[in-house]
Amino acid sequence: MVAPRWTNGPASLTLVRHGESVGNLADGRAREAAAEVLDLDERDADVELSPAGRDQAAALATWLEEKAPDDWRPTIALASPYRRAAETAQHALRPVGLEAVLDERLRERDLGVFDGLTGAGIRARHPDEAKRRTKVGKFYYQPPSGESWADVVMRVRSLLTDLRHGYDGERLWLFTHQAVIMAFRYALERLDEKELLDIDRTTPIPNASFTRFCRDGDRFELDVFADARAIDDLDAPVTHEDPQRGRGHDH
């Protein structure tokens, strides 16, 4: 695929995955128990950070205040309106005096009727859809009343179009979710469907990690991916899903 050409826009894009949430914990417990449903009452948009997630957000703030190189420090920030991402941004940005603007295009992928179900639950309760997903493939499959990965890519492309105007030279941080980070890679790099899914299957994206693109001439180049330097440096817990478990959500 041909990467989009940039004649203006931000100097860098730093994508920050939200800190660990209570939904991440519920997902892990459900899988270990081979349960069909997550023990989680909140709607996805309201899932909050876990204690470890708050520690991770605090570690981001400390790293920004004490260790971040000047060319990493954000000059502007956007965030998913989902609570776990917005809270991560709020805590992390305090040292630099920024407040993230919420943008719905950075929200988590909508799983529709599958929200709150594990893979076992989907196969047990929606066997026809599970078969259809296998046939269509993870990238293009759209759950009933939900979104495919391709739908998320379209949201990201819309946001990238807006970033060509009024953001020249900015160091932009975006607080978001795992599927959205992968969609940025798809939209900005020369990746095809197989390459993207291979990365997703083999490389976990830690909570509170960085994925950074820097503009080089008329294109963005990947600088770091799934980089947990901030929490590694400050001994905060490193958490992520196992990429081999076929995760369906990023609670």
Residue 248: its pLDDT value, please?
44
* CB burial of residue 126 (10 Å; 0-12, 13-18, 19+): middle
- Pairwise CA distance, residues 123 & 186, whole Å: 28
Token pair in block for residue 87: 């809270």
Closest among 203, 247, 243 to 30, alpha carbons compared: 247
Residue 251 confidence (pLDDT)? 47
Report the pLDDT value the prediction gives residue 5, as an integer from 0 to 100: 80
Measured distance CA(14)–CA(176) in Å, rounded: 10
CA 65, 68, 69 angle in degrees (round to 5)?
130
Q: What is the pLDDT of residue 241?
A: 65
Architecture of domain 12-245: 3-Layer(aba) Sandwich (3.40)
| Contact by Cβ (8 Å): 15, 176 | yes
Domain ranges for the chain, please list them. Answer: 12-245
> Which residues touch 178 (CB under 8 Å, ≥6 apart)?
17, 205, 241, 250
Tokens of 207: 């909570």
Per-residue pLDDT of the chain (251 residues; tens, 9 = 90+): 555 688 899 999 999 999 999 999 999 899 899 999 999 989 999 999 999 999 999 999 999 999 999 999 999 999 999 999 999 999 999 999 999 999 999 999 999 999 999 999 999 999 999 999 999 999 999 999 999 999 999 999 999 999 999 899 999 999 999 999 999 999 999 899 999 999 999 999 999 999 999 999 899 999 999 999 998 876 667 776 654 444 444 54
142 φ/ψ angles, rounded to the nearest 5 degrees:
-115, 115
- Side-chain half-sphere exposure of 206, counting CA atoms within 13 A: 21
What per-residue confidence (pLDDT) applies to 247? Answer: 41
| Backbone conformation region of residue 117, classed left if phi is above 0, alpha if psi is from -120 to 50, else beta | beta
Burial 155-172 (b: 16+ CB within 10 A, else e): bbbebbeebeeebeebbb
CA dihedral 152, 99, 209, 200 (to 10 degrees): 0
